[in-house]
């Protein structure tokens, strides 16, 4: 009997995998190591120190930019996840009809369009709105991030819906449950891992965004990525490494919590 195909049995697979992982994580490892460098050099190790973490903690601009990034990412991810959930239900819990594929394409358009094009379009639109309304707050950044994050949240939620067994939903309908009760007690609990995955993806994409934020933000609205970009243009110190290391630890912690929550619900 012929053996089932397995890519792990292919010649050189282990070697290529090790090299790929090494090239992927080596820059991150170097960044973390030099966050603890006592000197100002990014290429010469001058002893272990936490001075750059202390300096970043005492830097009010870093604190303000970090809190602003978290605020924008959290609000944008929540709104994008809600919108993506509704869109996923509307495009999967229905019979196929003419125009459905076009709706898929419309929802996923931000993934296909270059980010710089989206940024310029939002800049032109919001500049006119600012003139008409006089409002220059964070609402523009939240709206821009939400629009950009919707397809990232939509894809895992839609994938979860397409793989869900409809037996329980049909049983609830047979027992005269309203569509709202069916969604609340059956669909949503089963869909929750996909919703969490969509939220996490949208949150990270928003937290990491530079191009759209750089075009849309007003004066004094730097997020952490745009602040770091501005600092790198002036002078590069291990303080940037320290800030990046803190956010790397927070990201790993968030992914770990998400993993255990998803595993528990399953």
77: DSSP letter: H
Contact indicator for 110, 212 with CB cutoff of 8 Å:
no
Would you say residue 243 lies in a domain?
A: yes
DSSP 91-156: HHSS---TTHHHHHHHHTHHHHS-HHHHHHHHHHHHHHHHHHH---STHHHHHHHHHHHHHHHHHH
Query: How much is the pLDDT for 168?
Result: 81
pLDDT tens by residue, 186-222: 888 888 888 988 998 899 889 888 899 999 988 888 8
Distance CA 40, CA 34 (A): 9
pLDDT tens by residue, 14-58: 888 889 989 888 988 888 888 888 888 777 788 888 888 888 888
Would you say residue 145 lies in a domain?
A: yes
Contact indicator for 145, 76 with CB cutoff of 8 Å:
yes
Would you say residue 250 lies in a domain?
A: yes
Would you say residue 206 lies in a domain?
A: yes
Would you say residue 241 lies in a domain?
A: yes
Q: Which two tokens stand for residue 25?
A: 């994580």
pLDDT tens by residue, 233-265: 777 778 888 888 888 888 788 778 777 776 665
| Residue 62: pLDDT band with limits 50, 70, 90 | confident
Q: What is the CATH number of the domain that holds 155?
A: 1.10.3720.10
Would you say residue 164 lies in a domain?
A: yes
Contact indicator for 208, 77 with CB cutoff of 8 Å:
no
Would you say residue 234 lies in a domain?
A: yes
Mean pLDDT, residues 141-150 taken together: 92
Residue 102 or 143, more confident: 143
Q: Is the pLDDT of residue 129 over 80?
A: yes
Contact indicator for 107, 150 with CB cutoff of 8 Å:
yes
Which domain range does residue 186 map to?
Answer: 60-265
Would you say residue 201 lies in a domain?
A: yes
Q: Is the pLDDT of residue 161 over 60?
A: yes
- Of the candidate ranges 64-73, 74-83, 137-146, 231-240, the one whose mean pLDDT is the lowest: 231-240
Domains identified in the chain, total number: 1
- Sole residue written with tokens 């255990």: 260
């Amino acid at each position: 009997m012929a053996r089932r195909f397995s890519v792990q049995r292919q010649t050189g697979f282990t070697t290529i995998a090790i090299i790929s992982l090494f090239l992927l994580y080596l820059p991150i490892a170097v960044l973390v190591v030099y966050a603890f460098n006592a000197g100002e050099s990014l290429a010469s190790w001058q002893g272990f120190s936490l001075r750059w973490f202390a300096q970043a903690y005492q830097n009010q601009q870093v604190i303000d930019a970090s809190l602003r990034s978290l605020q924008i990412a959290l609000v944008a991810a929540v709104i994008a996840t809600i919108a993506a959930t509704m869109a996923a239900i509307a495009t999967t819990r229905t019979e196929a009809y003419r125009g459905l594929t076009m709706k898929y394409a419309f929802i996923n358009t931000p993934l296909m369009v270059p980010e710089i094009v989206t940024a310029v379009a939002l800049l032109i639109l919001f500049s006119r709105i600012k003139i008409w309304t006089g409002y220059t707050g964070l609402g523009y950044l939240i709206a821009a991030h939400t629009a950009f994050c919707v397809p990232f949240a939509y894809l895992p939620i839609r994938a979860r819906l397409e793989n869900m067994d409809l037996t329980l939903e049909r049983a609830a309908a047979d027992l005269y449950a309203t569509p709202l009760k069916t969604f609340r007690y059956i669909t949503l609990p089963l869909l929750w891992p996909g919703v969490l995955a969509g939220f996490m993806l949208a949150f990270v994409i928003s937290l990491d965004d530079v191009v759209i934020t750089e075009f849309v933000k007003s004066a004094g609205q730097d997020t952490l990525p745009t602040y770091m970009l501005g600092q790198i243009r002036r002078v590069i110190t291990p303080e940037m490494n320290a800030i990046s290391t803190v956010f790397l630890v927070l990201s790993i912690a968030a992914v770990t919590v998400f993993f255990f929550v998803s595993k528990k619900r399953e």
